Amino acid sequence: MDYTISITNRCNLRCTYCYERHLNTEYGCITPDIRDRIADFINAQGDADIVYLFGGEPLLYKDTVRFYCEHLRDARQIVITTNGTLLDEDFIRWCMERKNVIINMSHDGKTCTERGVDPALLDANLRILLKYQPETLTQLVYTEQTLPFLYDNIMYLKNLGVKKVSAVMDSFLKAEDIDRFGDEMRKQWKKIGDIPDLFVYELAAKIKNIREQKRSLCEICKKKIFINWDGNFYPCVQFQNIPEYRCGNIFSGYAFEEARKAHPDYSVMADRCSGCEIAKYCRNSCACRKMATTGTVRDISEAACMEEQVQILTALEIISRDNGGKVQ
């Protein structure tokens, strides 16, 4: 089981595309009692694979991050997701001494106007992180305004020494001209697919799905659990503080079966995907993604649908190129 622990939904940045700002939920952070109970609960289950320490910005509470790194006994891997502004060399070194701790850092590239942060600060902290963790996954978000610079921003990160990158579209994006938006997205991802010696998470995931001819089914708390800072369980981050999607808490335990019965449409493909030839490679049955882009588990936004089409087409081209012109 993968666990995501939301240490806080507070943050020291104000990114225009931040999901927390769109959720309109109460802001808070884990108390010492809740912190301990979450650790005890996960340890008692004995099934932790990856534990994500998440926010908001989790490094606002470094002592809590350190606590989980030291007290989650059986987790195969602990992943800290940070905006990078609060990283320092002592903390990075401390994490790297604990063999199973990984830091993922956000950096949007050459210009970070959507985040309100000086790229020079992120550059400096990223270079320190790469010194200790050369395989750092660097995560960027692109908006309709920054899409034309997506390739340039990824190359900017590559030139800083980044070997692994994830590029995610603003979940709440509604394109003014979907055809023009799709053409620009196709242009950018085609160039990204041709970058040598760079792992791009989205394309790697698509290539794997196509080659294995299978799609992972999104089911309530089958493979992952989101633990909110107040101790309540939810299927994923986009469902936090929505009472009807609560799946238990650290005091009373799991209530997974009740949640599954209450939401039989959680795992269905988006309505717009009916009859689509590439739906089997698509991630638009992901309930968290559906909820983020449309506020419902029944549909996916037009922009998110376009992103999937473009990434799948790019992945198919890469497979064909690698196989001498054949997809299979």
Distance, in Å, from the CA atom of 149 to the CA atom of 136, rounded to the nearest integer, reads: 22
DSSP 193-247: HT-TT-EEHHHHHHHHHHHHT------TTSSEEEE-TTSBEESSGGGTT-GGG--
For 110, residues 6+ apart whose C-beta sits below 8 A from its C-beta are 119, 149, 152, 153, 156
- 8 A C-beta contact, residue 85 and residue 117: yes
Structure-derived torsion over alpha carbons of residues 80, 84, 90, 95, reported in degrees to the nearest 10? 10
| CA distance linking residue 223 with residue 156, whole number of Å | 35
**HSE (side-chain half, CA atoms, 13 Å) at 277:** 1
Residue holding tokens 């884990």? 30
* Residues β-bridged to residue 307: none
CA–CA gap between residue 112 and residue 321 (Å, rounded): 34
The amino acid at 78: I
Model confidence pLDDT, tens digit, residues 252-272:
999 888 888 888 888 887 777
pTM for the model stands at 0.92
Phi/psi of residue 145, nearest 5 degrees: -75, -35
Per the structure block, which two tokens stand in for 114? 């959507």
| Structure tokens given for 194 | 């041709």
H/E stretch holding 273: none
Rounded Cα distance between 208 and 215, Å, is 10
Q: What is the arrangement of strands in the sheet containing 2-6, beginning at the earlier edge strand?
A: 199-200, 164-169, 137-142, 101-106, 77-82, 50-54, 2-6, 224-227, 233-234
Predicted confidence pLDDT, tens digits, the chain (328 residues): 999 999 999 999 988 888 776 776 778 999 999 999 999 999 999 999 999 999 999 999 999 999 999 999 889 999 999 999 999 999 999 999 998 999 999 999 998 888 889 999 999 999 999 999 999 999 999 999 999 999 999 999 999 999 999 999 998 888 889 999 999 999 999 999 999 999 999 999 999 988 887 666 778 888 899 999 999 999 988 888 888 899 999 999 998 888 888 888 888 877 777 778 777 778 777 888 888 888 888 888 999 989 999 999 999 999 999 876 555 5
| Inter-CA distances, 227 with 54, 176, 206, 249, Å | 10, 36, 28, 8
| CA 131 – CA 258 distance, rounded (Å) | 47
